[in-house]
Every structure is written in C-alpha cells, then in structure tokens.
Structure 1
Amino acid sequence: MQRARRAQGARRSRLQTRRDQRNQRYGRFIGLTALGSLIPGTGLIAAGKRRLGTTVLVILAALAILALAVVVLIPPTELASYGGDRQMMLILGTALAAGAAAWLLIAVGSHRSLEPEGLPAGKRLAGALVVVLSASVVVAPLAVGSRYAFTQRDLVGNISSSGGSNTTPDVDVSDPWADKPRLNVLFLGGDAGEGRTGLRPDTQIVASIDTETGATTMISLPRNLSQIPFPEGTPLAEAYPNGFTGSGDPLEWMLNAVYANVPRDHPDVFEGVGDPGADATKWAVEGALGIDVDYFIMVDLAGFEAVVDALGGITVNVPRDIPWGNKSLPDGSCTQANGYIEEGDDQLLDGFHALWFARSRCGSDDYERMERQRCVMNAIVDKADPATLLSQYQSLASAAGDIITSDVPADLFPALIELMVKVRTQPLESLTLDNEFFGSMGTTSSDPDYDQLHARIQEILAGTPATPDAGETTPPDEDTTEATSQNASSERSGADVQQASGEAEEPADEPTDGATDEPAADEPVDAGSVC
C-alpha cells in the first residue's frame, strides 16, 4: 500500500514538474513575443533565427539613426516647410505605411516562430492578443502619421492654385524671395449663401510680410472704398480710366462689388483664370494701396463653423449683447433678432455663435465688426495649441480644405510655410483704414485721395518693426499710437493712424440670410470696448 502511494506521489510530482515547465515555457513565449513585437528582430533571435533577426535589428537601428540625424541636422524651419511639399508628403506617408505593415509582419512572424507546439486554442489566442497590443504601441502611431501625411498632401492640393491667373508673379521657387523684400497676400472672406446674388467678399485684409524678418502688417480695407483706380498698364485701367465708378446704385461701385461685377462686365480679360473675381479684386487693392498684391487666399465662411467646432469652441470677451439671426434693412434698421450672444467675459462660443459674433452688423459699424473679427481669430489662435491640432487634425484639415482656396502655386507652399515660421516670431501689426485714418488725410473712404493713401501706406510699411526674438519689445520711435502684437508691444510713427493688434486675421463676412449691403456709416457706432 505504501509503495503504491509513493508511486502515485511520484507521478503527481512529475506531472506538476511538467506543468511548471510548460508554464515557464509559455511565460517565456509571451514575454519574448511582446519584446519581439516592440523591438523587431529580438523575437526572431530568441527563436533561433539569429541571422534574420540580426539583419532586422541592424536595419531598425540604421533607420532610427537616420531619423535622429534628420531632426538634429535639418533646421526646424526647413522641416516645417516639408509640410507644404506634396511630393515629400507622398514619400513620408508611403514610408510610414510601409513601416507599419513591415513592423506588424515581423511581429507576427516572431510570434509564430516562438510559439510552442501543442498549445491549446485559448493560449494561442492570448499570444495573438499580446502581439496585437504590443505591436499597436508602434504600429498605430505610424499608421496615424501616414494618414496625416496623405491628408496634408491633399490639403495643399485642395487650397493651391487650380487655374490660371493674370496677377501672380513669376518666381524661382528655389529662392522665391530673392528679389522680393515684401510679400503681400490678400485675404478675402467670401459667402455666397442663400439670399445673396453672387459672392461679395466684404472683409478684405492684406498681409504685408517682410520676407527677411517675418515682421507683418495686416491692412484691413473698408468694403465701401470707392472710386478705386486700377494699376496702370492693366486691362482694367483701360476699362475704367476714371476708376471703378459709374452710374446707378453706389453699392455696385464699392470695393466689395469688384469681385462679382468686373469679371461679369469684362469676361474677355479673365479667360482661363481660375478665380476671375479674386484676380480683379487683387488689381483693385493694388490700385487702392499702391502696392503689388502677390497672392490671394479666400475663406468661404459657409464652412467657418466647422473649424471652430473642430477646436471645441472658442472663448472671447463679449463687450455687449450681440444679436444673431437678424439682418440689416435698406433704411438702416434691423429685423428682429432670433437671440443674443450675451455680454460677458470668457464666453465659450460654438461655431455657429462664433460666426455670428464676427459677422453681426446690427447695432455696430464695419470697424467695430472688424475688431470682433480680430477677437475671433485671436481666440482661434489661442485655442489651436499643438495638442488640439494633433488630436483634431483630420477634422480641421477637412474643414480647411473645404473652405480655403488660393492662387498660391503648390510648389511655393514649402517656402511659404518656412516664411510663416518667421512670421510667428515677430510682432503682427494691424492697420484698419477707418474713419480716423481717412479723416487724418481730410478724406473719407467713399471719396479718398489715393495719392495720399499710397504715400501713407508706403510710409507705414517702411516703418514695420522687427524683433530678433519673440518676446522682445521694439523700442518706441516718435510719439505714436499704440500697436500691440501677439508677442510684444511696439510703437511706430504715424500718430494719426489707428492700429490694433491681431493675429493673422481670417476674413469674416456678413450673415447669409439676404442682408442688404449698405455703406458704412460716416461715424462709428459707440458700441463699447471690443473684446
């Protein structure tokens, strides 16, 4: 009896030893599978495939060293510029997708090589889950990066020039700013919504950028600017020898009417042009300011809400109750508002209300509305931190691709992005051509002296300050009005020029519910402090 008991105990001991050995082998298998999924090649070496595993490890190390060298040796501005290179984005997206696929295949191969024979189905499934979870730590970021690269490539293609132009300069894309001390880009806010006849970009802003320093002046033009001369030597100067003026409704001869009316009346001038209205408006702005306008960027405000919503809303200080859902009438009164954006600091606005905050005209004039637009764009820049941009990139890029068009050539985007990096390190000054500005010259926006205006703009742009590093303060010149910026406060000559700070403003427009365009009042409405 005792002998039988001892034999039975010995069998139990042997069985337990075997179970322990199998568990140890399974634990080693799981650990090596996870390691092989995280670091390709290690699992193959552990499985006895040393030559193949070593080759994979060497390739991985070489790629890691190459990536580190790129980050360390290439200047950050040049790296950023690659975001505008469609060919580079194609290469990067393809490489990341291929890397993700290769990583996953090697992880699966390591798992199969390490897997002990005779494992039950449950343990095989557990091993497969370890592969998926471990590999996803690397494969998922690679896949997301690939998707972002292809999205960025599509975005550049969507917003770049899609047709001919009479007004874009001929440049050498390898050094586009060699003979161009200033780059002038016209931002247009367009809305061809229901109830409106054609598109009228009521907000027009020229960003004049010093290509050496990145210092930028934003010039906001009033939509009711009249009698605009077109530049000498252009077809429109011959068509309108006395400027953009004529009989009939004065609203049809203001700056914001150029976009629709000039191409309609002179279609032969714009044959083959991708955006005739923008081309005509660029010539009008050139004639008004006396500067060359190189490119335009049009923002369709019908999709503006999507951008704000993708950011999770924006926070602004509302200076007074702002009506929404109403419209201006020809006699200067307004229809009944559907509601109000209530006065108060740090108000969180979704896309719908942010758009109305920027566009609402009733109870204010164009200049107060321009200030609200500046507040909205500042709020967008504040909200668009790297973490938000990264997490919401797909929705933001999709919205931007739907609402932005331009005549910037696709192959110029790398240089333009590199220049924008400089712009972010410099003060941005904002100049509004308002009643005070024209009053200082003894004129109005409806009857301007363009010779004086040209001279004043040249003087202002010549005095645009630049700081070597963000956060420094430019020493004051002569007694001037204050011009604040995103990074520093600065002052410059021109005491009669009212300047307000601002990030690069995206244009905004009036409601699309059939509101009637009316000239701005001669005197601004005292609507209180804005933002």
Structure 2
Amino acid sequence: MTALGTLVPGTGLIVAGRRRIGGFLLFLFIMAVAIALAAVALVPTQRLLSYGGDRQMLLIVGSGLAAAAMIWLIVALVTHRLLEPDGLPAGKRFGGALLVITTASLAIAPLSLAANNVLTQRDLIGALSGGRSHTTPEIANVQDPWADMSRLNLLLLGSDAGDGRDGVRPDTLIVASVDTETGDTTTISIPRNLQRFPFPPDSPLAEQYPQGFTGAGEQTEWMINAVFRNVPAAHPEVFEDVDNPGADATKWAVEGALGIDIDYFAIVNLDGFQAIVDALGGVTLDVPRDIPVGNRELPGRQGCTEARDYIRAGDDQHLNGAQALWFARSRCGSDDYDRMARQQCVLGAIVDKVDPATVVTKYQSLASATRDLIQTDIPEDLFPPLIELAVDVQNATLESLTLDRKFFEAMGGATPANPDYDELHTRIAQILEPAGDKEDEAGDHVTDTAPADPSGPPNGESGDGTEESTHDDTGSEDGDATTGTAQNAETQPDEPETDPDEDQADDEPVETDAVC
C-alpha cells in the first residue's frame, strides 16, 4: 500500500485513515496530470518549446517541479510510517524502506532532473542574452517580433581565441539568413580575406573609412577577419558602452560587404566548438577524402608538416569533437574555400543532431559548454520566439552559398581582394528573395540543386554558388549530412599561430570533393 501510495500520492494516506489529507493530495495529483495532458494536447508543440526561452516561465516551472519532488518524498515517508506494522524485525523494516525508496525514485528522480534542467536553462538564457550594442534592431512587438522582420540575419563567428594566439580573428564568418515566415534558411560563407568593403552609410565607421576598409601596412590587417580586433582598437570612441565592440564592428563590415542588415551575432571559440560536439555525442557525416589531423602549413607555402593521423574517407563517419574540429579547419592539401564548404557540412550535421532526446539526455553538458564558450547579443525577450523559429528552420529548406573564386569570377573577373560591391549587393539580394519571387524574365524559377564542387557554383545556377538541401529525419539530403559550418582560425588547432595567409584570390583553386 505504501508503494501504491507513492506512485499515486494520497491513496496510501486514505488507507491509513487520513482520508481528508489523502483525498486532497489525490485530487491535486489528478488535476496536475490532467493539466499536463491538456497542455500537451492543446498547446502547439512550438509554443511549448518556446517556454524554454522564457526565464519567468522557467522559474515558475522549475520551482514547481522542485517543490513537487520534495512534497512527493515527504508523502511517501509519512505514508510508510503510518502503514508500517508495529514490532517488525529489522530485516523486514529495511526491506520495506528499500521498497519505498525504490518506488519513490521512479517519480522523484525524473521530477528532480527536470527541475534541475529547467533552472539550468533559465541560467543559460540569462548568461547568453543581451549585452549593450549599437547594431541590434529595435523590436516593437516582442510577442510577434517577425511581424516587421521578413528575414532574420544572424552572423555566426568562429573565433580563434586561445593559448598562443594574440587577440581574436573570427576566421569563420557565416550569415544565416532565415525567412521568418517559412523557416527557409540560406547560409552565406564569407571568405576571411575579403577586402576593400564599404561600411553602411548610416554607420559611424563609414566616415572613418570613406574609401572602404583599406589603408597602409600589411595587407592581412585590412581583411574582413581583421575588423574584429583592429577597428575597435583604432576607434574606441565609436564603441563606448558596447559589451562586444569587435562583434559590432564585424556586423557593420558584413552589412557593408553584403548589402543586408545583420540583426544579431553569435560567436564560439575553438574549445567551445569541440565541447559542444562532444556534448552532443559527436556528429555523423560523409567524409569525401582523407582529412589530415595534426599538421600545419610550412612557412612560404612549402608544403605541410607530417600529419599525426587522418580522418578516413567514407560515408556515415562518426566524428568526435576533436575530429569534427579538424575536419572543419584542416587547410593542408586544400584551401579556404574547400574548408568553408566542409564547415557547412559540420553545421548541418550539428543541426540535425539536435533532437529532443539528445537535448534531454545530454542537457547539462550542452548547457555547460554553451554558457562558457558562446557569446551573443540576442536580447532575453527574443529567445521564446527564436526557439519557435528554430523549429521551423530544422524542418525547412537549407541553402548554402560560398563566396568562392568562381562566385567572384562570375562577377566580371572580380576577386575577394577587390570585388564590385554594388554587383555583390545585387546578387545577394536576388539570392535572398522569397522562393516565389525568384523568377527571371523568361519565367524560369530557381531550381533545387545537388551539392557541387565547392570551388564553383553548382549545376543549374548562374554563378551564385547556391546549393539547396532539405532536412529529413536523418538530418541530411538523401540521408547524408550535407550542409553546415564549424569555426576555424588562421592556424590549425593546438598549433602556434603562423603568419596569416596572403590574399588567396590570386591562387589557382584547389579542386576537391569537399561538399559532403
């Protein structure tokens, strides 16, 4: 009877003669179950998930779950004491107590775990959110922030901050542009050696760099990946009262380069990327060729040091965090554009791996990695609608665009060192048009394409480099992980920083099978 009273609170107390309090607890239990079932049945799944970004709701739910677990345990102990016969020998009393503890754990352990995860989530939202910025948009209606925002443009930065590195150079720059109505997403990989880009006219940096981001000295100090460190150092007055001036400066740089508004940023460093992949239990993707691990380029591009290992070619290869990092960042035997394509493969594999079962079972390690190693300027109030949008993104179409050599060559022989930015703005605007508007004068629509050589545009496109895939339950196109990103840096992981690359636009492209 104690075991039954533990699984269904109140029944044991009723048997023990405490009918009033037992009946009240039984009524509360039935009502709680009914409310939970009604919420699951009546409230849309996306709305339920969005509460995971509402810190006030998380506090209420977490506190309620913790209180329920405590009350449940007390009721179990009291029920056992009231129902236990007098004069039992020690062995039988121990057996009865063990049964009560075992039975109570079936209810109390899940409640305690859920309460811990909910309160951890609340702390995580608080740690990630906000920050003072000059570049975040004004949200008039937090309840429906997408009413006046047809596209959400999020800048994803991969930081090379770490031991042996001076400052930060976000050598991975990817814009995730999300259609807020459909969830369809286009990721745009920006080469780190992009140069001479303008800043937006309404940016205070436009006055500082009227001829674009260029000047005297080393060419590598005037590439887009140098903005994060160099611009705030050169113009600290522009970034007063800003929590992450490097990110603000880089957002303005990307806006000027692509001709689109950048709403928010998220930056992760090398350790963070590896920890997140490990927290997910690794990722699975197709490895198109052997990828060297543990080597680096020799000075003057005289080849590479000997690799300590290889990620072997093959389908459905399971990679841990360190392997995924090398897959995304390895440069020996390839180039930046090949590497950018591999990064998109990894991001797609990560997105596909984030399912409810994985998140629940690995939540504490995921939250720990995320809290310590990711920064963003997304305001706290935006997390609930952003979670709802994320569900749409995972079930929608994902296109990937790499601004590689052939993309620029299609713009009249341009290079990342000196592209025609007006033409680039026009092409990006065309690519980001809603699907229904992508119709040319002849009435032809942009068609879906299979992955193609990363150094050039896929078949069926006119040089814009767009490839498209649709997520399925396995997280891939035709069952394969095909798109994504990881972070990278100028040097290989765990190696001292070497001299930055020269402008690679003058090199011959390296033909590879990089797209996974």
Report the TM-score, using the length of structure 2 for normalisation. Answer: 0.89
Task: Determine which of 138, 145, 148 is the counterpart of 2:117.
Answer: 148
The 3-state SS of whatever aligns with 1:374 is: helix
Classify 1:503/1:82 alpha carbon distance in 2 versus 1 (closer, same or farther; 3 Å): farther
Matched, 1:459 2:418: no
Alpha-carbon offset, residue 318 of structure 1: 2.6
Classify 1:342/1:213 alpha carbon distance in 2 versus 1 (closer, same or farther; 3 Å): closer
Task: Determine which of 116, 119, 138 is the counterpart of 1:170.
Answer: 138
- The residue aligned with 1:268 is 237
Classify 1:508/1:526 alpha carbon distance in 2 versus 1 (closer, same or farther; 3 Å): same
Task: Determine which of 293, 299, 321 is the counterpart of 2:268.
Answer: 299
| Aligned-partner Cα distance in 2 for 1:405–1:370 | 22
Alpha-carbon offset, residue 332 of structure 1: 2.0
Q: 1:310, 1:395 within 8 Å by CA — same for their partners in 2?
A: yes
CA shift digits 1:412-443 (9 cap, x unpaired)? 10111111112122101111111111111111
Task: Determine which of 59, 84, 92 is the counterpart of 1:123.
Answer: 92
Alpha-carbon offset, residue 118 of structure 1: 1.2
Residues 430-441 of structure 1 mapped to structure 2, 5 A cutoff: 430-441=400-411
Q: 2:351, 2:394 within 8 Å by CA — same for their partners in 1?
A: no
Q: 2:127, 2:371 within 8 Å by CA — same for their partners in 1?
A: yes
Q: 2:293, 2:330 within 8 Å by CA — same for their partners in 1?
A: yes
- The residue aligned with 2:467 is 500
Task: Determine which of 58, 81, 105 is the counterpart of 2:74.
Answer: 105
Give the alignment's Cα RMSD to 1 decimal: 2.2
- The residue aligned with 2:504 is 520
Give the count of matched residue pairs. Answer: 485
Residues 77-476 of structure 1 mapped to structure 2, 5 A cutoff: 77-161=46-130, 163-171=131-139, 172-345=141-314, 346-442=316-412, 443-464=414-435
- The higher radius of gyration belongs to 1
- The residue aligned with 1:74 is 43
The 3-state SS of whatever aligns with 1:317 is: strand
Say which is worse superposed, 277-286 or 121-130, in terms of deviation.
121-130
CA shift digits 1:180-222 (9 cap, x unpaired)? 1111111100121233221000111111111111111111111
Alpha-carbon offset, residue 299 of structure 1: 1.2
Q: 1:478, 1:493 within 8 Å by CA — same for their partners in 2?
A: no
Alpha-carbon offset, residue 477 of structure 1: 4.5
**Runs of 5+ in structure 1 lacking a partner?**
1-31, 467-475, 486-490
- The residue aligned with 1:7 is none
Classify 1:199/1:313 alpha carbon distance in 2 versus 1 (closer, same or farther; 3 Å): same
Alpha-carbon offset, residue 317 of structure 1: 2.8
| Aligned-partner Cα distance in 2 for 1:122–1:334 | 74
Q: 1:321, 1:340 within 8 Å by CA — same for their partners in 2?
A: no
| Aligned-partner Cα distance in 2 for 1:88–1:291 | 34
| Aligned-partner Cα distance in 2 for 1:105–1:84 | 32
| Aligned-partner Cα distance in 2 for 1:259–1:145 | 39
Identity of aligned residues (%): 56
| Aligned-partner Cα distance in 1 for 2:227–2:415 | 19
Say which is worse superposed, 105-114 or 332-341, in terms of deviation.
332-341
Classify 1:525/1:156 alpha carbon distance in 2 versus 1 (closer, same or farther; 3 Å): same
Q: 1:358, 1:369 within 8 Å by CA — same for their partners in 2?
A: yes
| AA of the residue aligned to 1:78 | R
The 3-state SS of whatever aligns with 2:170 is: coil
Q: 2:175, 2:188 within 8 Å by CA — same for their partners in 1?
A: yes
Alpha-carbon offset, residue 379 of structure 1: 2.8
| AA of the residue aligned to 1:379 | A
The 3-state SS of whatever aligns with 1:213 is: coil
| Aligned-partner Cα distance in 2 for 1:438–1:167 | 28
The 3-state SS of whatever aligns with 1:245 is: coil
Classify 1:477/1:301 alpha carbon distance in 2 versus 1 (closer, same or farther; 3 Å): farther
Q: 1:37, 1:134 within 8 Å by CA — same for their partners in 2?
A: yes
Q: 1:229, 1:242 within 8 Å by CA — same for their partners in 2?
A: yes
**Runs of 5+ in structure 2 lacking a partner?**
438-442, 453-457, 469-481
